Homo-oligomer: A and B are copies of this chain.
């Protein structure tokens, strides 16, 4: 798809750099942008520029933050003995929505994935080890994706964390609440039998 306007071509190409946006949708988005007022377009571009130039990351957990410490790390109500390791900020939103976790987080910034050229040095692993070595730390919960890359990263982190004076745990994998046994894939079902837990543990708390 080529247009005879360089400006349009350029805008569509840039819009198509967004993940999941093809050339055709990019054109739709760009035409929508063109129909807006100048100040609306400016508000849009300013938001992106300011995000990139002014955003800070929490010194402790690498969460996106307007201050040095994010609202979770700065909250004295949170249990600072526990650190939950996740991939990115969206996982914090998901876990916070459950209202079941009162500890702190540590954002890795990805998972080890040799296929994508992401090694341990590209992730916030050193700062995690530092935090795990701090005297207040008692437990590190690994909450990464249940994929091969996630498992590799879990294993790598486990070996590193073994030398620190903390318990290392992994969030449980199993059949989702409300799912039927017969439609569960066999790997998950197998894991959920191996990882069975005493009945009393599962009574609603």
Q: Which residues of B sit under 8 angstroms from A46, Cβ to Cβ? A: 45
* Chain B residue, CB-CB nearest to A19: B32
Give Cα distance in the complex from A88 to B5, angstroms. 15
Alpha-carbon distance A88/B32, docked complex (angstroms) = 11
Contacts known (A27-B90, A32-B18, A90-B31); A50 close to B10, Cβ less than 8 A: yes
Which among A65-73, A131-139, A144-152 touches the partner chain?
A65-73
A138 to chain B, nearest CB (A): 26
User: A11 — which chain B residues lie within 8 A by C-beta?
Assistant: 47-48, 50-51
Q: Does A6 contact B (CB under 8 A)?
A: yes
Q: How far is the CA of A93 from the CA of B13 in the complex (A)?
A: 16
Which of chain B's residues have a CB closer than 8 A to the CB of A162?
none
B-facing residues in A47-92 (Cβ within 8 Å): 47-55, 64-66, 70-71, 88-90
Interface window among A34-42, A183-191, A193-201: A34-42
Q: A191 to chain B: closest CB distance in Å? A: 28
Q: Which residues of A contact B (CB under 8 A)?
A: 1, 3-8, 10-11, 13-15, 17-20, 25, 27-34, 36, 38, 40-55, 64-66, 70-71, 88-90, 93
